[in-house]
Amino acid sequence: MATMSASSRLRVLLAIGMSAALFTSTGAAQSPRQDRPRAQNRPVELAVFPELILLPEQVPILLQLPPTDFAPPVQAQDPVTTPASAQPADQAPPVEQAQPQEQIRRSKLIRDRGTTPPSEQTMPSETVRFVETSEPTPIPPQIVTWGSTDFPLPDPDILPKDHPAMGSYYGKAIQVCPAGVAPSACANGQPATALLMTPTLTGDGLFVADDSFTLLPPPFGPHATAHGTWNPTSSTDFTAEYVFLTRTFPPLEGTISGVRARWVAKVLDANTLVGWVNAYFLGPVPVTWTPLADDEFPAFPTQGLPFVTSPVGFIKDPAQCLGAGCPQVFKFTLKRITR
């Protein structure tokens, strides 16, 4: 370069400077391209941030696979379907499981004692006592019949509402005297009697009646309304049982007497009934006051047993029963009360 002219050296230096500048700019432009691959790897390193741990649910990370020992979370079992073997041996059974066993134990204990469980009782659970009166309790009078016929049994296949006897009636009854006995001494030395009556036979088997003795003085009246039941015995026949209260005769203070009567009757036509009556005149029943505690009720009077005790048999001929305890026999004819 020493032999070069000044202009030539200037051109050479200028070319060298431009070449250097060109190489410098090229290196600077290549530096970003060399760093770019490293910048692309940074998101992989920073993919997991501490904030992601606080999220309530897992956030899947791109290209991240679960570990090989991954297992799904164990779901909590329903306590109702939990097997009994999973329960600790020293833990008491739940109340739901213990209750049936307790009920069985209590039911067995109650039945062993001969009592009724409270849920099955139809009366108060308190102890009930029946208190007798201070008066002596005589032997209840017996209703005795001789030479009687069988009292017909009800027919269970015929309901009262389907029987032609159902209805209300008006009619007359006449006392039947034994053969050879004067009407003036028909029964127990008393004159024969007759009466008018208005019985009603309901469709559910109830019997209600009044008669003309209700308005007459002793010995046969006055008395209260008759109450009882009636039952079909065939498509035309039926029976009835009823009682009513009377005054005691001869009068006995503090007592009430009564009559137990029964029918054997039949339907003669659509509006007519005929039949027989047995009337048992019952003895006096004392009506006295007795103090009672809260758990006490009056005892049923033994003298009143004939009111609720059915007689034996039935008598159509009064000559078949002569003596004490025999019923008075009546025959009647009734007509239906119609519109």
Taking only the tens place, the pLDDT of each residue in 182-193 is 999 898 888 999
Q: How many CA atoms lie within 13 A of 318 on its CB side?
A: 26
Domain assignment present for residue 223? The answer is yes
Say what the pLDDT of residue 187 is. Answer: 85
**218: pLDDT strictly greater than 80:** yes
Q: Are 198 and 168 in contact (CB under 8 A)?
A: yes
3 state SS of 330: strand
Q: What is the pLDDT of residue 327?
A: 93
pLDDT in tens, 40-87: 555 544 444 444 444 444 444 444 444 444 444 455 455 444 444 444
Omega before 218 within 30 of 0, i.e. cis? no
pLDDT, mean of residues 171-184: 94
Q: Identify whether 248 is part of a domain.
A: yes
* 73 falls within a domain: no
What was the pLDDT predicted at 11? 74
DSSP code per residue over 192-206: P-EEEE--EE-TTSE
Predicted local confidence at residue 221, as pLDDT: 87
11 lies in a domain? no
**Which residue in the block uniquely carries the two structure tokens 């760093």?**
35
Q: Which amino acid is at 212?
A: S
Determine the pLDDT at residue 219. 82
The C-alpha atoms of residue 318 and residue 326 are separated, in whole angstroms, by 8
Mean pLDDT of 30-42: 50
Q: How many domains does the chain have?
A: 1
Nearest to 303 by CA among 144, 145, 142, 188: 142
Q: Which helix (H) or strand (E) holds 81?
A: none
Neighbouring residues of 142: CB distance < 8 A, sequence distance ≥ 6: 325
Q: d(Cα 245, Cα 211) in Å, to the nearest integer?
A: 13
pLDDT higher for 51 or 198? 198
Residue numbers of the domain that contains 281? 142-336
Provide the residue count of the chain: 339
**70 assigned to some structural domain:** no
Cα–Cα dist 331/322, whole Å: 18
Q: What pLDDT, on the 0 to 100 scale, is given for residue 203?
A: 97
- Checking if the pLDDT of 331 tops 60, the result is yes
pLDDT averaged over the chain?
76
Is 230:240 a contact under the CB 8 Å cutoff?
Answer: yes
What was the pLDDT predicted at 59?
A: 43
Q: pLDDT tens digits, residue range 241-262?
A: 999 999 999 999 999 999 999 9
pLDDT tens, residue by residue, 277-325:
999 999 999 999 999 999 999 999 999 999 999 998 999 999 888 777 8
CA atoms of 310 and 142, how far apart (whole Å): 11
In a domain, 148, yes or no: yes
Between 82 and 268, residue with greater pLDDT = 268
For the chain, give the percent of residues with pLDDT over 70: 59
242 falls within a domain:
yes
pLDDT at position 28 over 70: no
The predicted pLDDT at position 144 comes to 53
CB 255 within 8 A of CB 233: no
Least confident range of 100-109, 188-197, 216-225: 100-109
Assess contact for 291 and 138: CB atoms under 8 A: no
Token pair, residue 306, equals 């004939």
pLDDT at 154 over 90: yes
Let me know if residue 292 belongs to a domain: yes
